[in-house]
Amino acid sequence: MNLPTAQLISRKKITEDLMVITLRCEQNQFTFKPGQYCTLGIDGIERAYSIASAPFEQTIEIFIELVPDGELTPKIWKLNLGDKVSLRPRAKGIFILKNEYTHHVMVATVTGVSPYISMIRDYLNQPSSSEKVFYVLLGASYQDELCYDQELFHLSRNFPNTVNFIPTISRPDDSRNDGWLGNVGRVNSIVKDQLNINKLSKQSTYVYACGHPGMIEYVREDVVSEGWNFIEERFWKE
């Protein structure tokens, strides 16, 4: 079966093993809901990746971590602008915004921030009949891994009643984190504090966790046992 293709139109290096790529669909318009994932392939090897762009952007933006001994990401790292990848025609996933809730606590590690970027961009781009507030809790080992931090800081300044951004790093003593003045510790360790500080209610709040399975286990244990609404999306390395 010949799958549709998408063309690489931009790439942005974040660190040696993190990159944001942007793809343009070659055939029919690719449709998706914010928070869903697409399936990319090269030479018949396919993997699923959460989409960071919003549907209105008409491109597919993906934040990818290199797995040196993986089957697909080393091939993606070798792509040149204009090269093509296969793209399964249907997006999938149920990790989408729970529109019936007002407060959305979005916990992520590194590339796990992708679906939240899509959700927030989409929400801010279109008038909504219901007011929503987003709390993005993003964790990484090093500050240079906090991709989308500038966008989230910008949104939190311009939409202070809608977007709250709380980044944290887990290795504050490493030289890569020199000058860091923000939160320290693993992101799962600040979730309960943020729920309390912001005086959120279980009736109006949904907690999302996306990224490293270990982080998700800790968050799930903390919030589900106390009756918070919860959904997860686990990212596994190849």
* pLDDT tens, position by position, 75-133: 999 999 999 999 999 999 999 999 999 999 999 999 999 999 999 999 999 877 679 99
Q: Do 115 and 230 fall within a single domain?
A: yes
Q: Do 11 and 73 fall within a single domain?
A: yes
- For 47, the domain range is 5-87
SS3 content of the chain, % helix, strand, coil (to 5): 25, 35, 40
Mean pLDDT (whole number) for 8-25: 98
**Is pLDDT above 80 for 50?**
yes
Q: Do 107 and 223 fall within a single domain?
A: yes
Sheet holding 103-109, edge to edge: 183-184, 163-169, 133-140, 103-109, 205-211, 229-234
Q: Do 155 and 179 fall within a single domain?
A: yes
The answer to whether the CB of 74 falls within 8 A of the CB of 66 is: yes
Q: Do 22 and 139 fall within a single domain?
A: no
The answer to whether position 156 is within a domain reads yes
Q: What is the pLDDT of residues 148-196, one digit of tens each?
A: 999 999 999 999 999 999 999 999 999 999 999 999 999 999 999 999 9
The answer to whether the CB of 157 falls within 8 A of the CB of 174 is: no
The answer to whether position 94 is within a domain reads no
The answer to whether the CB of 208 falls within 8 A of the CB of 105 is: yes
Confidence at residue 80, expressed as pLDDT on a 0 to 100 scale: 98
Distance from C-alpha of 192 to C-alpha of 183, rounded to nearest angstrom: 14
Whether the full predicted model's pTM is greater than 0.85, yes or no, is: yes
Q: Do 26 and 131 fall within a single domain?
A: no
Q: Do 147 and 222 fall within a single domain?
A: yes
